[in-house]
């Protein structure tokens, strides 16, 4: 029975990856005027673009970052992407699956998925690409049993580089989604992780 569940999850992750791959084959949509206001995403999850408060490191709403789980793959909070892609590959699949298991088993836990890009491309395009990356991780989590209410997404585009360099090694580190654990609104924040 456990093998069937595991196989079902693998098939679902592969189906999501195939859907994202086919969806990424289309031409680039026209660039809309940038908006810094939060936009509501289906199912009640929030998605925000980078604005002055977010780019400066402000917390979203009344939720604060917490350490979250630290064991095994759960200690890895970053999913990396290929250039101009929102397809979860390689170790990213395992990282997302580990966080999905934790979140599905801990309904009180909340995460913010922060989509990021490298510096290539326009600011508007990179905000959109960061959002597509965060949404790809969100969809993968939802397919593995995480509740929509546990997830919010935000795109910072190129505004928060992990590596300020201007070469392929730096760009590869910047093409990512960070999984940030949050305290539920109204609860005291735990001490930040080291």
pLDDT digits (tens, 9 = 90+) for 93-118: 999 999 999 999 999 999 999 999 99
Q: Which domain holds residue 140?
A: 2-26+35-182
Name the pTM for this structure: 0.64
Considering the domain boundaries, does residue 193 fall inside one? no
Considering the domain boundaries, does residue 108 fall inside one? yes
Considering the domain boundaries, does residue 145 fall inside one? yes
Considering the domain boundaries, does residue 187 fall inside one? no
Looking at the 3D structure of the chain, how many domains does it have? 1
pLDDT digits (tens, 9 = 90+) for 10-48: 767 666 665 655 555 544 444 443 433 333 333 344 444
- Tokens 């699956």 belong to which residue? 97
Of 16, 29, 9, 142, the residue nearest 86 (C-alpha)? 16
Of 172, 168, 145, the residue nearest 80 (C-alpha)? 172
Q: Are the C-beta atoms of 80 and 175 separated by less than 8 Å?
A: yes
Q: Are the C-beta atoms of 111 and 151 separated by less than 8 Å?
A: yes
Query: Domain containing 162 — which CATH number?
Result: 3.30.1330.60
């Amino acid at each position: 029975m456990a093998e069937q569940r595991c196989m079902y999850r693998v098939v679902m992750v592969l189906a999501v990856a195939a859907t994202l791959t086919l969806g990424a084959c289309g031409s680039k949509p026209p660039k809309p005027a940038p908006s810094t206001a939060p936009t509501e995403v289906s199912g009640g999850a929030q998605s925000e673009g980078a604005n002055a408060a977010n780019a400066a490191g402000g917390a979203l709403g009344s939720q604060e970052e917490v350490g979250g789980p630290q064991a095994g793959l759960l200690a890895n909070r970053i999913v990396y992407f290929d250039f101009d892609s929102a397809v979860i590959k390689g170790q990213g699949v395992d990282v997302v699956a580990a966080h999905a298991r934790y979140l599905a088993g801990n309904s009180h836990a909340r995460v913010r998925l922060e989509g990021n890009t490298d510096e290539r491309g326009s600011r508007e395009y990179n905000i959109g690409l960061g959002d597509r990356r965060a949404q790809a991780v969100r969809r993968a989590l939802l397919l593995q049993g995480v509740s929509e209410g546990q997830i919010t997404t935000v795109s910072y585009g190129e505004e928060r580089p992990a590596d300020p360099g201007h070469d392929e090694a730096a760009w590869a580190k910047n093409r990512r989604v960070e999984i940030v654990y949050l305290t539920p609104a109204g609860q005291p924040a735990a001490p930040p992780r080291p």
